[in-house]
Structure 1
Amino acid sequence: MYNFNVKSLTGLALALPLVFGSPAEKRDFDVFNYINPLIGTVNGGMAKAVADVDNPDEKQGGFASDDSNITGFSHMHDDGTGGSPSLGNFPIFPHAGCPGDNVTNCHFTSDDRAIKRLNGSVQAKPGYFAVSLNTSINTEMTVTNHTALYRMTFPSNSTAAFKNNTYSPLILVDLIDLPQSITNGSIAVDPNTGRISGNGTFAPSFGVGTYNLNFCADFSGAEIRQTGTFQNNVPSPGTNNLTKAQAPAGAWTQFEAPDNNQILTRVGVSFISVAQACHNAETEIPDFGFEKVQTSAEDAWRTKLSVVEVDATGVDDNLQTVFWSGIYRSMISPQDYTGENYLWESDEPYYDSYYCIWDSFRSIHPLLTLLDPESQTLMVRSLIDIYRHEGKLPDCRMSLCKGFTQGGSNADIVLADSYLKGITAGVDWETAYEALISDAEDWSIEGRGGLQSWKSLGYIPIHDNDPDGTGLMTRSVSRTVEYAYDDFCIAQVAKGLGKTADAGKYLAQSNNWQHLYKGDQKSFVAGTTGHEGQTVDTGYTGFLQPKNLNGSWAYQDPAFCSPLLDFTSCYLNADGHETYEGSSWMYTFFVPQDMATLIRTLGGPSHFAARLSYLHTSSLLYIGDEQAFLPVFQFHYAGRPGLSAQFSHFYIPSQFNNTVSGIAGNDDSGAMGSFTTLAMMGLWPVSGQDVYLITPPYFAEVGVVSGQTGKRATIRNVNFDAAYENIYIQSATLDGSPYEKNWITHGFVAGWGGVGTDVGESRE
């Protein structure tokens, strides 16, 4: 066993101690007390049940903690995708009765039935969500892998609560989804059992094509009174089938008053068929036992989370909640759809909801490799199998559909990272390498566009002539630097597989970022403190700039697409931008494959560190986009790891905290959560390389059980200061011996040795 230790001293700029290896002391606490699924619910397995709201800007994951109305409860969601909403198919909605005991007086469409929730009624934890509508109906939900179970408790004094309505609950199922994309919907209700089932064809939220989804809803707890369908806001009692229905449409079952005021609704879902959806429900939840299902879901989450232990002595509860909630959100996506892929026959696993690998390669997949390598292995195998049957690795994929490519072919980085860190079980690395080469050499929605220019010019030009691609002629600068790093990652795999010629070729192409570096380019920005209303020279020269096909320079303001200049002008479908969701100021730092050359190019270590600090303190950087993560820690390469620790604390908890607005941007399927987790663990992975940059953890001790070896690693923060005044590592030991590097490899982590660091007053 190895130990890694750090020590801290007292002073103005102080540091923490750090240790890897010996077991963390178990604390007697319930981890669920430190998980808040509602973090970030404003501004930002298959079955994921939650309430859906009607705010078009906030409903990507279904629920939002704003003042919007609840329109229903649906069974499948993606986490924090940004952009267009996804899934939310076939929502259910309860009425305690209809005015005048006439179903024509009930509200059926999502707009008409939308209703406020009771303030303070929301409860959320792993495996459970509950909310009360202002009709006093309380709805609880829990899930298995393919089935959602709802428990609806109606007010006992329904006559008073519902304005003298007859207490006769009605539960509807709507043929709709969150983006309202359904076509060719069909639905049927069995008048004898009340079962409602159906299907529809839907559009993905960030891709091309369509997908088919099916559902099967059963009820328990009350006798059936009548059934019917609805179109628009008009119900048709006794009409029990609709085919080729266009929303708004659906079906409903009305009940006699339940004896205990509760009705349970079980909804199975399947991409395969209605029969499979019913089978999923019947086998996963045969007896409608809500507590049993909830306990099982909670147990599954506790098992996933049990690989991490911390000594949180002195750490504020809110900060602990940021940490554990980050782990929780990091494990929600990608989602295991194995057995539900109707596109091809395969014995390999199938994972979906990659939103998007451009977002997730930086920290989600490296974190899973640390905490859940078994799942990461299955995801790698799934990516390879997608290549076998679709001809390309995805950069984004959702609901069995091909997603758009945002920049480079970033599955290359995920595969390289996994290869270098020993992800091998059942992985066909020769086929994986074939997929990497396919990405590097041609284009078909996925892969890379502009490859003729890439190969002949060594960069992607502005207004590129791309005869092979159909993508947008934008993002020339950001695509160039991303392609360069993708090629570096391919070179690492080629080297490992003994493909020497390829390794040399792609390593050489990884230097192509230099073709867009314009050494005399200055940057002027809108005046900040003390210079409001003025334009000021940043004092920094040399930035990435676009080039024309003929090699002449084009121009994009280095601050363009930053919070200081036209921040929202660089989304995927916008015109006239050569960087993607960020500025040239930020992208000029993206050379993780050759930081030594970049630092020399930007004036040496001191000038580099000052420039990187300016990026963080000038409002040029938006931490809510994933490309901003690595710059927090790139001070390591200039010999200033203390500044990496400083800026980690600069953003946590100011931008990432235990509030409903406690995520800087949308969560991007857990990317923001993985950022906080890794930063607080003190291990920042440089994805695509066997490198973790070391900073002091936010705890006295963090222990992790390796899913690869079963051994335990502990990072111990010697002389830990819970006030975080001591945040600079002064010294480190590895297994009791002095350790002088500011980084460590996965070999140490997988073998679960121990590192200790001594933190104290800055000596930089």
Structure 2
Amino acid sequence: MLSRPASSAWISIAAFSAFTAAQIDYTQYVNVFQGTTNGGNRFPGVVSRPFAMVKLGPDVVSGTTDAYSGYLPGGNIFGFSLMHESGTGGAPKYGVVSQMPATNNVSNPLTDLSQGRSAADQGAVGYYRSQLSNGVVVELAASEHAGLYQYTFPSGTSPSIVVDVSHVLNSWRGLGWEQHYSKGNFTFLSDGHYEGSGTYNNGWNLSPDWTIYFCGKFSENPTSSRSFKGTGTTLVAYNTIPSVSGNERVGGVFTFGNTSIKSRVGISFLSSSQACQNLDKEIKQDTTLNSLTDKAKETWNAEAFSKIQITGASDDDTKLLYSSLLGMFLIPSNRSGENPGWRSSEPYYDDIFTFWDTHRCHTSLFQIVQPTAYEELIRSLIDVWRHDGYMPDARSSNFNGRVQGGSNADNVLADAYVKGVRGAVNWEDGFAAMQTDAEKAPANNNDPKAPDSSTKEGRGALPDWLKYGWVTPTYTRAVSRAIEYSTNDFGVHQVAAGLGKTVDADKYLNRSRNWRNHWNPDASSNNHTGFVVPRRANGSFVEQDPGSCGGCYWGDAYYEDNSWIYSMNAIHDVYTLKEFIGGDAKFVDRVNKIFDLKIFNVGNEPAFTTAYLYNFVRGEQWRSVDRSRQIAKSYTAAANGLPGNSDAGAMESNILWQMIGLWPMTGQTTFLILSPWFPSLSISLGTGKTLKITTTGGNKDTAYYVQSLKVNGQGWDKAWVSWNDIFANGGTMEFVMGDQATNWATGVLPPSPASGDV
């Protein structure tokens, strides 16, 4: 049995001070339970490498609390399954291909077999351990397409393992987003292994039936193997017939003579035979828990953690950095070669949740830390368009959905294009995919929460956007959609301009200014006038309190935030925004008020960039630094250490940018300068290129104001840098810090590319 430290135990960082970066085991600084409580919804189980298809961990039930990633700190475990998402909301997804141990002869496998825990779960990168109330210890490790369970049963018991194909994560929210089991099959093979498949539907993205196949093998032959089928908790059949299938719940029960059992399971979206091939290739009969765990640690070190190296950091900040890096790269899932929808030589990524959450700061850091995978993701998005008709704003179980606002894959493609992602990307097809979003309204999928137009893909309110240049209250989320459509159109402009499509570039640049059509200069709130509000087809504005957004949900004019926030979200047109608000002083006061009135929500993505817009006013960069440090106080590496839902790593990427001391402006090459945390931070950019950021004369907590800056050895007086300055070929940033704000950034303001025609 493999021994691993509890989640609260840490190996001292000082113990590694004599090692080179290549020798340091960065996984020792990672708390896999970061963000698993306090609404973070992060997955703490086993993910063998960034974006691995298998995510093996516990499924917990606790009253009527949704376990979005499967895990809850309290409650009963009712299975250990191979598929999960991480940091998602809405409703749980997956929790499929599960098994559950029992200590006695199982008379009815359809009844509640769940167990409490006699000790807190333990975990480390590549490893997970649960100790159940019945005395069974379950330890987990995994590869990319398979999982390894190691069971230790108490002596004197009758060890049994139940495989229930109907097992899914439940939702009790009552929104109609719960998963459904559709059908399954389960077969014993003559050599002792088993195969089968389960078909499921619905979940947060309202997907139709999808199927996952599995192949399982044990370390020894069971003393008995029984299949079962039934409805609810009522058995229809429970015997030794080799195969069962149908719409009823199906599965198998295995009983063993020994108290130590290893169970290996492979999965595939293509077939059971492919699941067996995945298993035999990745987890052989003699593979140990230790070897899989060590391989996972080596892979995460090489592909993620070693990419960012720091010196002079506290233990807490080091743990926060590397724990957050883990959370960034749990999803999406790399399912290249496992796409059941079409055959293609292109990469395939699924479990995108969602670009509405991640396009602001996650995808830009994804490109820097994982450039190869990032190019693959861009190619995958374009290939989804080729075969499904639209790029996803979100995607899970091989199905697009749900769109909360705009078609934000456009922003992601634009960000990649302007930052030089080329490789094997077909950018002509990429532009065509973006144009589909910009010109073709998707068919209505009749979402009960927003029945006015499609929430599956594309821009559901596009007919209004094309007809009026704004979105009327005919459509739900009219204002927040309009703001996002503007940034989406700016993204289309960026790629069109780069490809030399000047007519299209001009067209979409002009359309990107249409957020202005929602600006009511007479709307007033807290001594400020001018806000984006709903607008009718006849051009009149709807009276709207900018401080209210109703329920701030699917049926309202604003989604998950109010007009104070959405009025600041046209980040490609900030100079216009400043003019509309009333000039520099009023603009600074507007951002201040967002914090003073407690409108700003550190755990909600629409406000992310607002905190740093001070950089667009000379002499005010220090205010962005203050806000950055204020936001950082909401983060730790602890289980409750995220200020909100991880949102697939969006929340973790936010704090990582604070540590680096920069903020990305999505779809542009601009990075706003904040204040780095560490005496030295180096980011490996690939092909031997490095960005090195140093600070002298201050400290992260009390003397963090920029006094002066050199970029690539030259004095710097701008509150921003570009991609080409520091990332395209690497570079250096040398900060001198102090405890008093100074007016060091007296140079040219950051670009505002859509503001040429106010």
Question: TM-score, normalization: structure 1?
Answer: 0.86
Q: Residue deviations 1:421-450, cap 9 Å, x none? A: 111010101111111111100122422123
Q: Secondary structure at the match of 1:52?
A: strand
Question: How many residues were matched structurally?
Answer: 684
Paired residue for 1:741, among 684, 697, 718?
Answer: 718
Paired residue for 2:622, among 638, 642, 657?
Answer: 642
Cα distance between partner residues in 2 of 1:625 and 1:75: 29
Paired residue for 2:528, among 532, 540, 555?
Answer: 540
2:238 maps to: 236
Change (3 A) 1:557 1:210: farther
Q: Secondary structure at the match of 1:210?
A: strand
Cα distance between partner residues in 2 of 1:720 and 1:306: 26
Q: Residue deviations 1:720-743, cap 9 Å, x none? A: 414x11121111112322111111
Assess if the C-alpha contact under 8 Å between 1:148 and 1:268 holds in 2.
yes
Mapping for residues 79-478 of structure 1, pairs under 5 Å = 79-98=86-105, 103-104=106-107, 108-109=110-111, 112-120=112-120, 122-155=121-154, 158-159=155-156, 166-179=157-170, 180-190=179-189, 193=192, 195-221=194-220, 223-231=222-230, 232-233=232-233, 234=235, 236-247=238-249, 249-256=250-257, 258=258, 261-287=259-285, 288-313=287-312, 315-444=313-442, 445-463=456-474, 473-478=475-480
Cα distance between partner residues in 2 of 1:212 and 1:556: 46
Q: Which has the higher contact order (CA 8 A, sep 6+)?
A: 1
Q: Residue deviations 1:385-440, cap 9 Å, x none? A: 11111111111111101212111111111000000111101010111111111110
Cα distance between partner residues in 2 of 1:616 and 1:391: 41
1:606 maps to: 585
Q: Residue deviations 1:591-639, cap 9 Å, x none? A: 1111111112112222212221221232212221211211122221123
Q: Secondary structure at the match of 2:611?
A: helix
2:542 maps to: 554
Cα distance between partner residues in 2 of 1:547 and 1:223: 68
1:498 paired with 2:500, answer yes
Cα distance between partner residues in 2 of 1:549 and 1:95: 63
2:92 aligned partner, one-letter code: P
Any stretches of 5+ residues in structure 1 without a counterpart?
Answer: 1-23, 160-165, 464-472, 524-537
Please report how far the alpha carbon of residue 456 of structure 1 lies from its aligned counterpart in structure 2 after TM superposition.
2.8
Q: Secondary structure at the match of 1:93?
A: strand
Cα distance between partner residues in 1 of 2:696 and 2:22: 18
Cα distance between partner residues in 1 of 2:261 and 2:290: 14
Q: Secondary structure at the match of 2:681?
A: strand
Please report how far the alpha carbon of residue 221 of structure 1 lies from its aligned counterpart in structure 2 after TM superposition.
4.2
Q: Secondary structure at the match of 1:482?
A: helix
Assess if the C-alpha contact under 8 Å between 1:222 and 1:263 holds in 2.
no
Q: Residue deviations 1:530-560, cap 9 Å, x none? A: xxxxxxxx22222111011111111332122
Please report how far the alpha carbon of residue 364 of structure 1 lies from its aligned counterpart in structure 2 after TM superposition.
1.6
Change (3 A) 1:33 1:617: farther
Please report how far the alpha carbon of residue 26 of structure 1 lies from its aligned counterpart in structure 2 after TM superposition.
4.7
Cα distance between partner residues in 1 of 2:559 and 2:401: 17
CA-based RMSD of the aligned residues comes to 2.0
2:706 aligned partner, one-letter code: I
Cα distance between partner residues in 2 of 1:433 and 1:631: 29
Q: Residue deviations 1:656-690, cap 9 Å, x none? A: 22222221221111111111111211121111100
1:17 maps to: none
Please report how far the alpha carbon of residue 307 of structure 1 lies from its aligned counterpart in structure 2 after TM superposition.
4.2
Q: Residue deviations 1:175-208, cap 9 Å, x none? A: 2221441102222234761535333243343133
Cα distance between partner residues in 2 of 1:502 and 1:36: 48
Q: Secondary structure at the match of 2:696?
A: coil
2:717 aligned partner, one-letter code: E
Cα distance between partner residues in 2 of 1:619 and 1:601: 23
Please report how far the alpha carbon of residue 25 of structure 1 lies from its aligned counterpart in structure 2 after TM superposition.
8.3
Change (3 A) 1:736 1:275: same
1:41 paired with 2:36, answer yes
Cα distance between partner residues in 2 of 1:697 and 1:363: 16
Please report how far the alpha carbon of residue 137 of structure 1 lies from its aligned counterpart in structure 2 after TM superposition.
1.1
Please report how far the alpha carbon of residue 349 of structure 1 lies from its aligned counterpart in structure 2 after TM superposition.
0.5
2:749 maps to: none
1:30 paired with 2:25, answer yes
Assess if the C-alpha contact under 8 Å between 1:229 and 1:240 holds in 2.
no
Cα distance between partner residues in 2 of 1:521 and 1:737: 46
Cα distance between partner residues in 2 of 1:129 and 1:443: 45
Assess if the C-alpha contact under 8 Å between 1:115 and 1:133 holds in 2.
yes
Assess if the C-alpha contact under 8 Å between 2:160 and 2:253 holds in 1.
no
Q: Secondary structure at the match of 1:750?
A: coil
Assess if the C-alpha contact under 8 Å between 1:686 and 1:693 holds in 2.
yes
Q: Secondary structure at the match of 1:443?
A: coil
Q: Residue deviations 1:273-327, cap 9 Å, x none? A: 11111111111112242222222222111111244343342x3322222211111
1:57 paired with 2:68, answer no
1:34 aligned partner, one-letter code: Y
Change (3 A) 1:230 1:446: closer
1:39 aligned partner, one-letter code: Q
Cα distance between partner residues in 2 of 1:720 and 1:428: 47
Q: Residue deviations 1:627-655, cap 9 Å, x none? A: 121112222112322111111111213x2
Please report how far the alpha carbon of residue 130 of structure 1 lies from its aligned counterpart in structure 2 after TM superposition.
1.2
Q: Secondary structure at the match of 2:490?
A: helix
Change (3 A) 1:97 1:310: same
Mapping for residues 554-573 of structure 1, pairs under 5 Å = 554-561=542-549, 569-572=551-554
Cα distance between partner residues in 1 of 2:720 and 2:261: 56
Change (3 A) 1:384 1:170: closer
Please report how far the alpha carbon of residue 451 of structure 1 lies from its aligned counterpart in structure 2 after TM superposition.
2.5
2:600 maps to: 621
1:755 paired with 2:730, answer no
2:561 maps to: 582
1:592 paired with 2:592, answer no
Assess if the C-alpha contact under 8 Å between 2:304 and 2:370 holds in 1.
no
Q: Residue deviations 1:7-26, cap 9 Å, x none? A: xxxxxxxxxxxxxxxxx985
2:518 aligned partner, one-letter code: L
Q: Secondary structure at the match of 1:756?
A: strand
Please report how far the alpha carbon of residue 490 of structure 1 lies from its aligned counterpart in structure 2 after TM superposition.
1.1
Q: Secondary structure at the match of 2:266?
A: strand
Assess if the C-alpha contact under 8 Å between 2:441 and 2:459 holds in 1.
yes
Change (3 A) 1:672 1:298: same
Cα distance between partner residues in 2 of 1:368 and 1:197: 36
2:100 aligned partner, one-letter code: F
Please report how far the alpha carbon of residue 762 of structure 1 lies from its aligned counterpart in structure 2 after TM superposition.
0.8
Assess if the C-alpha contact under 8 Å between 1:194 and 1:224 holds in 2.
no
Please report how far the alpha carbon of residue 28 of structure 1 lies from its aligned counterpart in structure 2 after TM superposition.
7.3
1:701 paired with 2:680, answer yes
Q: Secondary structure at the match of 2:591?
A: helix
Percent identical residues = 31
Cα distance between partner residues in 1 of 2:116 and 2:282: 32
1:517 maps to: 519
1:78 aligned partner, one-letter code: E
Change (3 A) 1:649 1:144: same
Cα distance between partner residues in 2 of 1:616 and 1:28: 44
Assess if the C-alpha contact under 8 Å between 1:696 and 1:717 holds in 2.
no
